[in-house]
Amino acid sequence: METIKANSAFLCNYEVMQILQKLKDNTHKKHKREASLATVTYETVHYLQDTECKNQSAQKIQKFLEAMKKYKLTKVEKLMMVNTPPRTELEIQLIVQESEERLSEEDVQDIISIVSQHLLANDNSNT
Amino acid sequence: MFVLAEMKDVIRVNPEYFRQSLTDSITTLLNRKLANKVVLEVGLCIVLFDITNVGHSYIFPGDGSSHTEVKFRYIVFRPIIEEILIGKIRSCSREGVHVTLGFFDDILIPVNALQHPSRFDETDQAWVWEYPKEDGEKHDLFMDSGESIRFRVTSEFFEESLPTGPPGTDCTVQTVAPYRLIGGINEPGLGLLTWWETPDQEGEEDEIDDE
Protein backbone atom coordinates (compact mmCIF):
# COMPACT_ATOMS: atom_id res chain seq x y z
CA MET A 1 0.00 0.00 0.00
CA GLU A 2 1.19 3.45 -0.81
CA THR A 3 0.17 6.85 0.37
CA ILE A 4 -0.11 9.30 -2.48
CA LYS A 5 -1.12 12.30 -0.43
CA ALA A 6 -1.63 12.16 3.32
CA ASN A 7 -3.80 15.24 3.31
CA SER A 8 -5.64 15.92 0.08
CA ALA A 9 -8.64 17.72 1.58
CA PHE A 10 -10.14 18.76 4.89
CA LEU A 11 -13.51 17.51 6.02
CA CYS A 12 -15.64 19.24 8.60
CA ASN A 13 -17.34 17.27 11.34
CA TYR A 14 -20.69 17.67 9.63
CA GLU A 15 -19.50 15.96 6.44
CA VAL A 16 -18.01 13.06 8.35
CA MET A 17 -21.20 12.70 10.34
CA GLN A 18 -23.27 12.56 7.13
CA ILE A 19 -21.06 9.91 5.57
CA LEU A 20 -21.04 7.76 8.68
CA GLN A 21 -24.77 8.00 9.14
CA LYS A 22 -25.41 7.04 5.53
CA LEU A 23 -23.11 4.07 6.00
CA LYS A 24 -25.00 3.06 9.12
CA ASP A 25 -28.33 3.17 7.32
CA ASN A 26 -27.03 1.20 4.36
CA THR A 27 -25.39 -1.55 6.34
CA HIS A 28 -28.57 -2.22 8.25
CA LYS A 29 -29.97 -3.71 5.08
CA LYS A 30 -26.93 -5.80 4.34
CA HIS A 31 -26.48 -8.47 6.93
CA LYS A 32 -22.76 -8.51 7.67
CA ARG A 33 -20.59 -5.73 9.04
CA GLU A 34 -16.91 -5.65 9.67
CA ALA A 35 -16.07 -5.54 13.35
CA SER A 36 -13.41 -2.82 13.29
CA LEU A 37 -15.41 -0.67 10.89
CA ALA A 38 -18.47 -1.03 13.09
CA THR A 39 -16.47 -0.03 16.18
CA VAL A 40 -14.88 3.03 14.70
CA THR A 41 -18.07 4.29 13.04
CA TYR A 42 -20.07 3.77 16.21
CA GLU A 43 -17.53 5.58 18.37
CA THR A 44 -17.02 8.41 15.92
CA VAL A 45 -20.75 8.98 15.49
CA HIS A 46 -21.08 8.87 19.26
CA TYR A 47 -18.45 11.60 19.59
CA LEU A 48 -19.88 13.73 16.78
CA GLN A 49 -23.38 13.55 18.21
CA ASP A 50 -22.23 15.60 21.16
CA THR A 51 -20.78 18.32 18.93
CA GLU A 52 -22.58 21.16 17.21
CA CYS A 53 -22.60 19.42 13.84
CA LYS A 54 -25.93 17.76 14.57
CA ASN A 55 -27.60 21.17 14.24
CA GLN A 56 -25.77 22.09 11.05
CA SER A 57 -26.63 21.55 7.41
CA ALA A 58 -24.72 21.95 4.17
CA GLN A 59 -26.65 25.15 3.37
CA LYS A 60 -26.00 26.66 6.78
CA ILE A 61 -22.28 26.02 6.49
CA GLN A 62 -22.19 27.45 2.98
CA LYS A 63 -23.97 30.59 4.10
CA PHE A 64 -21.60 30.89 7.02
CA LEU A 65 -18.57 30.66 4.74
CA GLU A 66 -20.11 33.28 2.41
CA ALA A 67 -20.59 35.61 5.33
CA MET A 68 -17.05 35.03 6.57
CA LYS A 69 -15.37 35.87 3.28
CA LYS A 70 -14.72 39.49 4.19
CA TYR A 71 -12.67 38.70 7.32
CA LYS A 72 -9.62 37.19 5.59
CA LEU A 73 -9.34 34.20 7.84
CA THR A 74 -7.46 31.11 6.82
CA LYS A 75 -9.21 27.94 5.72
CA VAL A 76 -8.17 26.13 8.87
CA GLU A 77 -9.49 28.90 11.11
CA LYS A 78 -12.84 28.78 9.39
CA LEU A 79 -12.87 25.00 9.59
CA MET A 80 -12.30 25.20 13.33
CA MET A 81 -15.14 27.69 13.63
CA VAL A 82 -17.47 25.28 11.87
CA ASN A 83 -16.36 22.37 14.04
CA THR A 84 -16.28 24.22 17.35
CA PRO A 85 -18.41 27.33 16.86
CA PRO A 86 -17.08 30.14 19.05
CA ARG A 87 -19.63 31.74 21.35
CA THR A 88 -17.34 34.21 23.09
CA GLU A 89 -14.50 36.59 22.23
CA LEU A 90 -12.16 34.34 24.15
CA GLU A 91 -12.93 31.40 21.89
CA ILE A 92 -12.28 33.50 18.79
CA GLN A 93 -8.92 34.51 20.23
CA LEU A 94 -8.05 30.84 20.60
CA ILE A 95 -9.03 29.96 17.04
CA VAL A 96 -7.67 33.00 15.22
CA GLN A 97 -3.96 33.57 15.62
CA GLU A 98 -3.02 37.12 16.54
CA SER A 99 -6.69 37.98 16.47
CA GLU A 100 -6.11 41.34 18.19
CA GLU A 101 -4.18 42.60 15.20
CA ARG A 102 -6.27 41.00 12.50
CA LEU A 103 -9.77 41.63 13.80
CA SER A 104 -11.29 44.74 15.30
CA GLU A 105 -13.64 44.47 18.26
CA GLU A 106 -16.61 45.00 15.97
CA ASP A 107 -15.40 42.22 13.68
CA VAL A 108 -15.26 39.87 16.64
CA GLN A 109 -18.80 40.76 17.68
CA ASP A 110 -20.00 40.36 14.10
CA ILE A 111 -18.38 36.94 13.83
CA ILE A 112 -20.05 35.82 17.05
CA SER A 113 -23.43 36.82 15.70
CA ILE A 114 -22.77 35.22 12.30
CA VAL A 115 -21.75 32.03 14.07
CA SER A 116 -24.83 31.97 16.26
CA GLN A 117 -27.01 32.69 13.25
CA HIS A 118 -25.67 29.95 11.00
CA LEU A 119 -23.89 27.33 13.07
CA LEU A 120 -25.68 27.04 16.38
CA ALA A 121 -29.12 25.69 17.10
CA ASN A 122 -31.49 28.61 16.88
CA ASP A 123 -34.14 26.96 18.92
CA ASN A 124 -33.26 27.86 22.50
CA SER A 125 -36.15 25.93 23.98
CA ASN A 126 -34.39 22.67 23.22
CA THR A 127 -31.18 23.53 24.96
CA MET B 1 -9.78 17.18 12.57
CA PHE B 2 -10.73 14.86 9.71
CA VAL B 3 -8.90 14.84 6.40
CA LEU B 4 -9.01 12.84 3.20
CA ALA B 5 -5.93 10.79 2.42
CA GLU B 6 -5.23 9.58 -1.11
CA MET B 7 -3.81 6.09 -1.20
CA LYS B 8 -3.05 3.35 -3.67
CA ASP B 9 -3.22 -0.38 -3.10
CA VAL B 10 -3.49 -3.67 -4.93
CA ILE B 11 -6.63 -5.48 -3.92
CA ARG B 12 -6.80 -9.25 -4.08
CA VAL B 13 -10.33 -10.57 -4.55
CA ASN B 14 -10.97 -14.25 -3.88
CA PRO B 15 -12.93 -16.08 -6.60
CA GLU B 16 -15.79 -16.76 -4.20
CA TYR B 17 -16.56 -13.03 -4.26
CA PHE B 18 -16.58 -12.71 -8.03
CA ARG B 19 -20.37 -12.81 -8.05
CA GLN B 20 -20.59 -9.44 -6.30
CA SER B 21 -19.46 -6.27 -8.04
CA LEU B 22 -15.79 -5.36 -7.94
CA THR B 23 -16.59 -2.02 -6.32
CA ASP B 24 -18.38 -3.75 -3.45
CA SER B 25 -15.47 -6.14 -2.95
CA ILE B 26 -12.94 -3.31 -2.98
CA THR B 27 -14.97 -1.29 -0.48
CA THR B 28 -15.34 -4.23 1.88
CA LEU B 29 -11.69 -5.22 1.64
CA LEU B 30 -10.35 -1.71 2.10
CA ASN B 31 -12.55 -1.12 5.11
CA ARG B 32 -11.55 -4.44 6.57
CA LYS B 33 -7.89 -3.60 6.07
CA LEU B 34 -7.85 0.00 7.24
CA ALA B 35 -10.85 0.92 9.39
CA ASN B 36 -9.86 1.78 12.97
CA LYS B 37 -6.16 1.38 12.17
CA VAL B 38 -3.35 3.88 12.23
CA VAL B 39 -1.32 4.36 9.07
CA LEU B 40 2.14 5.73 9.73
CA GLU B 41 2.39 9.47 9.04
CA VAL B 42 -1.22 9.50 7.85
CA GLY B 43 -3.43 9.12 10.90
CA LEU B 44 -6.26 6.99 12.24
CA CYS B 45 -8.34 5.61 9.37
CA ILE B 46 -12.09 5.84 9.78
CA VAL B 47 -13.88 4.78 6.61
CA LEU B 48 -13.49 4.68 2.82
CA PHE B 49 -14.58 7.93 1.18
CA ASP B 50 -14.46 7.03 -2.49
CA ILE B 51 -12.59 5.01 -5.10
CA THR B 52 -10.98 7.35 -7.61
CA ASN B 53 -9.43 4.89 -10.04
CA VAL B 54 -9.72 1.16 -10.66
CA GLY B 55 -6.95 -0.33 -12.81
CA HIS B 56 -6.98 -3.55 -14.80
CA SER B 57 -7.46 -6.78 -12.92
CA TYR B 58 -4.85 -9.50 -13.31
CA ILE B 59 -4.89 -13.19 -12.56
CA PHE B 60 -1.53 -14.78 -11.80
CA PRO B 61 -0.59 -18.39 -12.51
CA GLY B 62 -1.43 -20.65 -9.60
CA ASP B 63 -3.87 -18.22 -7.99
CA GLY B 64 -7.49 -17.83 -8.96
CA SER B 65 -7.86 -14.47 -7.27
CA SER B 66 -7.92 -11.24 -9.20
CA HIS B 67 -5.46 -8.49 -8.39
CA THR B 68 -6.57 -4.96 -9.04
CA GLU B 69 -4.71 -1.72 -8.50
CA VAL B 70 -7.02 0.88 -6.96
CA LYS B 71 -6.59 4.48 -6.02
CA PHE B 72 -8.91 5.66 -3.31
CA ARG B 73 -9.53 8.32 -0.72
CA TYR B 74 -9.98 7.47 2.92
CA ILE B 75 -11.39 9.52 5.76
CA VAL B 76 -8.63 9.88 8.32
CA PHE B 77 -8.53 11.41 11.79
CA ARG B 78 -5.50 13.69 11.78
CA PRO B 79 -5.93 16.93 13.66
CA ILE B 80 -3.88 19.86 12.49
CA ILE B 81 -1.19 21.00 14.88
CA GLU B 82 -2.56 24.02 16.78
CA GLU B 83 -6.14 22.85 16.24
CA ILE B 84 -8.60 23.25 19.09
CA LEU B 85 -10.46 20.07 20.00
CA ILE B 86 -12.99 19.16 22.63
CA GLY B 87 -12.67 15.82 24.39
CA LYS B 88 -13.40 14.17 27.69
CA ILE B 89 -10.97 13.53 30.54
CA ARG B 90 -10.22 9.82 30.72
CA SER B 91 -7.99 9.89 33.77
CA CYS B 92 -5.35 11.90 35.56
CA SER B 93 -1.91 10.67 36.52
CA ARG B 94 1.43 12.10 37.56
CA GLU B 95 2.29 12.46 33.87
CA GLY B 96 -0.64 14.73 33.22
CA VAL B 97 -4.20 14.53 32.02
CA HIS B 98 -5.29 11.75 29.65
CA VAL B 99 -8.01 12.79 27.24
CA THR B 100 -10.25 10.69 25.02
CA LEU B 101 -12.39 11.54 22.02
CA GLY B 102 -14.29 8.25 22.23
CA PHE B 103 -12.80 6.84 19.05
CA PHE B 104 -9.28 8.01 19.86
CA ASP B 105 -7.72 7.66 23.31
CA ASP B 106 -4.04 8.43 23.07
CA ILE B 107 -4.05 12.10 23.97
CA LEU B 108 -1.94 13.41 26.82
CA ILE B 109 -1.80 16.87 28.27
CA PRO B 110 1.56 16.87 30.03
CA VAL B 111 2.15 18.59 33.36
CA ASN B 112 4.01 21.53 31.84
CA ALA B 113 1.08 22.29 29.53
CA LEU B 114 -1.55 22.50 32.28
CA GLN B 115 -2.87 25.79 33.55
CA HIS B 116 -0.40 27.36 35.93
CA PRO B 117 -0.25 26.78 38.90
CA SER B 118 -1.62 23.24 39.04
CA ARG B 119 -1.06 20.49 41.58
CA PHE B 120 -1.83 16.79 41.61
CA ASP B 121 -4.30 15.73 44.28
CA GLU B 122 -3.26 12.27 45.50
CA THR B 123 -6.48 11.45 47.31
CA ASP B 124 -8.76 12.32 44.41
CA GLN B 125 -6.25 11.32 41.73
CA ALA B 126 -7.02 14.48 39.85
CA TRP B 127 -5.18 17.57 38.72
CA VAL B 128 -6.26 20.80 40.33
CA TRP B 129 -5.83 24.26 38.91
CA GLU B 130 -5.15 26.61 41.81
CA TYR B 131 -6.84 29.64 40.37
CA PRO B 132 -5.62 32.73 42.23
CA LYS B 133 -8.37 34.93 43.59
CA GLU B 134 -8.05 38.67 43.97
CA ASP B 135 -7.76 38.49 47.76
CA GLY B 136 -4.62 36.37 47.50
CA GLU B 137 -6.38 33.12 48.23
CA LYS B 138 -6.73 30.41 45.67
CA HIS B 139 -9.70 28.64 44.25
CA ASP B 140 -9.29 24.92 43.55
CA LEU B 141 -10.59 23.84 40.15
CA PHE B 142 -10.64 20.06 39.92
CA MET B 143 -10.20 18.17 36.68
CA ASP B 144 -12.35 15.10 37.23
CA SER B 145 -12.69 12.17 34.85
CA GLY B 146 -15.55 12.43 32.39
CA GLU B 147 -15.53 16.22 32.21
CA SER B 148 -15.46 17.89 28.80
CA ILE B 149 -12.19 19.63 28.11
CA ARG B 150 -11.07 22.00 25.38
CA PHE B 151 -7.41 21.70 24.40
CA ARG B 152 -4.98 22.67 21.71
CA VAL B 153 -3.09 19.97 19.83
CA THR B 154 0.60 20.84 20.17
CA SER B 155 2.39 17.84 18.68
CA GLU B 156 1.88 14.37 17.30
CA PHE B 157 3.94 11.20 17.37
CA PHE B 158 3.80 8.17 15.14
CA GLU B 159 5.34 4.98 16.41
CA GLU B 160 6.03 2.02 14.20
CA SER B 161 4.46 -0.99 15.84
CA LEU B 162 5.92 -4.41 15.25
CA PRO B 163 3.83 -7.49 14.63
CA THR B 164 3.10 -9.54 17.71
CA GLY B 165 4.41 -13.07 18.01
CA PRO B 166 2.34 -16.15 17.29
CA PRO B 167 -0.17 -17.06 20.02
CA GLY B 168 1.22 -19.22 22.78
CA THR B 169 4.77 -17.88 22.59
CA ASP B 170 6.38 -15.57 25.11
CA CYS B 171 6.97 -12.77 22.63
CA THR B 172 6.75 -9.47 24.38
CA VAL B 173 3.55 -7.89 23.27
CA GLN B 174 4.11 -4.34 22.25
CA THR B 175 1.75 -1.89 23.83
CA VAL B 176 3.08 1.30 22.32
CA ALA B 177 0.36 3.54 20.95
CA PRO B 178 0.98 3.90 17.21
CA TYR B 179 -0.30 7.46 17.10
CA ARG B 180 -0.20 9.84 20.03
CA LEU B 181 -1.24 13.43 20.39
CA ILE B 182 0.16 15.90 22.89
CA GLY B 183 -2.16 18.70 23.91
CA GLY B 184 -1.97 21.85 25.95
CA ILE B 185 -4.42 23.85 28.03
CA ASN B 186 -2.09 26.62 29.23
CA GLU B 187 -3.94 29.47 27.55
CA PRO B 188 -6.98 31.40 28.67
CA GLY B 189 -10.13 29.76 27.32
CA LEU B 190 -8.68 26.27 27.39
CA GLY B 191 -9.42 23.61 29.97
CA LEU B 192 -12.72 22.34 31.27
CA LEU B 193 -15.66 23.87 29.42
CA THR B 194 -17.31 24.72 32.74
CA TRP B 195 -14.38 26.97 33.73
CA TRP B 196 -15.12 29.47 31.01
CA GLU B 197 -18.87 29.28 30.71
CA THR B 198 -20.57 32.58 31.22
CA PRO B 199 -22.92 32.19 34.16
CA ASP B 200 -25.83 33.71 32.25
CA GLN B 201 -26.13 32.29 28.76
CA GLU B 202 -29.27 34.18 27.80
CA GLY B 203 -27.88 37.48 28.98
CA GLU B 204 -24.96 37.01 26.66
CA GLU B 205 -27.19 36.96 23.61
CA ASP B 206 -28.92 40.12 24.65
CA GLU B 207 -25.56 41.84 24.96
CA ILE B 208 -24.74 41.00 21.36
CA ASP B 209 -28.05 42.36 20.17
CA ASP B 210 -27.50 45.60 22.07
CA GLU B 211 -24.15 46.14 20.46
Residues of chain B numbered 58-97 and touching chain A (CB < 8 Å)? 71, 73, 75-78, 80, 82-86
pLDDT band of B111, cuts 50, 70, 90 = very high
Q: Which of B71, B84, B102 sits opposite A94 (nearest CB)?
A: B84
Alpha carbon B109 to chain centroid, angstroms = 14
Q: Which of B36, B43, B85 sits opposite A40 (nearest CB)?
A: B36
**What's the mean pLDDT in B57-61?**
94
Nearest CA in chain A to B71: A4
Q: Which of B32, B45, B75 sits opposite A16 (nearest CB)?
A: B75
The per-residue pLDDT for B171 is: 65
Domain boundaries, chain B: 2-77, 84-199
What is the rounded CA–CA span in Å between residue B82 and residue B133?
A: 30
Whether the domain at B2-77 and the domain at B84-199 fall into the same CATH topology: no
Residue B191 has pLDDT above 80, yes or no: yes
The per-residue pLDDT for range B3-25, each reduced to its tens digit, is: 999 999 999 999 999 999 999 99
B2-77 folds as Dna Ligase; domain 1 (3.30.1490)
The per-residue pLDDT for B18 is: 92
Query: Domain count of chain A?
Result: 2
Instruction: Mark yes or no for CB contact B189/A93 under 8 Å.
Output: yes
Residues 6+ apart with CB under 8 A from B36: A36, A37, A39, A40, B44, B45, B46, B103
* Helices within chain B (DSSP H only): 22-34, 193-196, 201-210
The per-residue pLDDT for range B114-136, each reduced to its tens digit, is: 988 888 988 888 899 888 888 87
- Report yes or no: B49 and B42 within 8 Å, Cβ to Cβ: no
Nearest CA in chain B to A2: B8
B36 φψ region: left (φ > 0), alpha (ψ -120 to 50), beta (else): left
Nearest CA in chain A to B148: A50
CATH number of B84-199: 2.40.50.140
- Report yes or no: A78 and A92 within 8 Å, Cβ to Cβ: no
Cα separation values, A5 from A2, A8, A37, B5, B60, Å: 9, 6, 22, 6, 29
Q: What's A120's DSSP letter? A: S
Q: Which of A37, A40, A94 sits opposite B189 (nearest CB)?
A: A94
**Which residues of chain A does B205 touch, with a Cβ-Cβ cutoff of 8 Å?**
116
ipTM, 2 decimals? 0.87
* Segments forming the whole domain that contains residue A35: 13-50
- Report yes or no: A8 and A29 within 8 Å, Cβ to Cβ: no
**Position A60 in a domain:** yes
Query: Is A90 in the same domain as A112?
Result: yes
**How buried is residue A63: exposed, middle or buried, by Cβ count under 10 Å (0-12/13-18/19+)?**
middle
